[in-house]
Each structure stands twice: as structure tokens, then as C-alpha cells.
């Protein structure tokens, strides 16, 4: 499990006087994991949801719909971020005999880390989707123009996606 891995890394890091490595490693892995999940889920969940038309036809405020979708994305990210970072914070806190201030700052990091990542990734996902769609359309036109067989056409499109 993640806790066992972090404890083993913490003991080894303490022996070589590099205990800070646990926090850097944990935050890097948690951020990368959260970034990956958000980039892959943000556009489909926030902007291209299949339920969006149905929700818009209901007497629900648009802000409420968008906010609920954003909260669901945040919950997924808090889970993935916390799953990695909580064991790192606990192991570092125990092995370094850190005080209560360290754990309070760790809690602040757990709360603010995913917020920043989700904000940046949602913006990236929103901005780059039109570019990807245009590239797929151009590739589609090129393959039709060159009279490529349908099999190669489908494989090419799948490879791009």
C-alpha cells in the first residue's frame, strides 16, 4: 500500500539524512496524478457531458449545474491527491517529530493543492479542445483526399485520439 511504501522510503531517507525527500516525492506524485486525472476528465465532465442537455432543460440554474460538475471533479481529485499525500505527511511528521504547525500546514496543502491543479487543468482542457478538434478534422480531410482505405483511416483517427 501507499502507506507502507512511504514508511519504507521515510526510514531509508532518514538514514541518509534526506527526510525532506518524502514530502517532495509525495507532492510531486500527487500533483502529477491529479493533473493527469483532471486533464483526462475535465473537458468531458465539465463541457461535453452527455447529461448537459437534459440538465439544461430542467428548472435548474446553469451556475448550479456547472458548480456541481466542478465539485464532482474536485472530489475525484481530492481523493487521488489525499491518497498519496496523507501518508507522506504522516510519515514525515512522525519520523521528524514535527509539531502541530506542520500538520496544520499539511492540511492547508491538502485543501489548496487540488484547487490550483483543477483550475489550471480545466483552463488547459477548455483551451486545447478546439485545437484538437480542428486537427482531427484536417486529418480526416487529408485521409479522404488521399483515398486511403477505410481501415487505415479509422486506425489513424484512433491513434491521434
| Span 20-26, average pLDDT | 85
Q: Which three cell numbers stand for residue 46?
A: 465539465
Percentage of the chain modeled with pLDDT above 70 = 73
Per residue in 122-138, pLDDT (tens digit) is: 777 677 777 767 776 77
Q: Are 74 and 118 in contact (CB under 8 A)?
A: yes
Q: Are 85 and 26 in contact (CB under 8 A)?
A: yes
Distance CA 128, CA 66 (A): 19
Residue 39 or 153, more confident: 39
Dihedral of alpha carbons 28, 31, 37, 40, sign? negative
For the CA atoms of 99, 105, 107, 109, the dihedral, rounded to the nearest 10 degrees, stands at -150
- Longest C-alpha distance within the chain, in Å? 69
Distance CA 53, CA 4 (A): 45
Give, as one character, the DSSP assignment of residue 98: -
Nearest one of 85, 102, 101, 99 to 27, comparing CA atoms: 85
Per residue in 76-128, pLDDT (tens digit) is: 889 888 888 898 898 888 888 888 998 999 999 898 888 888 778 777 767 77
Q: Which three cell numbers stand for residue 154?
A: 479509422
Q: What stretch of H or E contains 52? A: helix 52-57
| Span 34-55, average pLDDT | 71
pTM confidence score? 0.65
- The per-residue pLDDT for 60 is 77
Amino acid at each position: 500500500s501507499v502507506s507502507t511504501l512511504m514508511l519504507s522510503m521515510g526510514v531509508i531517507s532518514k538514514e541518509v539524512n534526506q527526510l525532506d525527500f518524502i514530502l517532495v516525492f509525495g507532492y510531486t506524485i500527487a500533483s502529477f496524478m491529479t493533473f493527469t486525472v483532471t486533464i483526462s476528465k475535465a473537458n468531458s465532465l465539465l463541457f461535453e457531458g452527455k447529461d448537459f442537455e437534459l440538465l439544461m432543460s430542467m428548472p435548474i440554474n446553469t451556475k448550479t449545474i456547472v458548480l456541481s460538475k466542478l465539485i464532482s471533479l474536485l472530489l475525484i481529485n481530492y481523493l487521488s491527491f489525499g491518497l498519496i499525500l496523507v501518508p507522506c505527511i504522516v510519515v514525515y511528521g512522525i519520523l521528524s517529530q514535527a509539531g502541530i504547525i506542520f500538520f496544520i500546514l499539511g492540511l492547508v496543502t491538502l485543501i489548496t493543492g487540488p484547487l490550483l491543479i483543477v483550475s489550471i487543468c480545466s483552463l488547459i482542457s477548455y483551451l486545447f479542445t478546439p485545437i484538437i478538434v480542428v486537427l482531427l478534422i484536417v486529418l480526416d480531410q487529408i485521409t479522404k483526399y488521399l483515398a486511403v482505405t477505410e481501415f487505415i483511416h479509422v486506425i489513424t483517427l484512433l491513434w491521434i485520439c
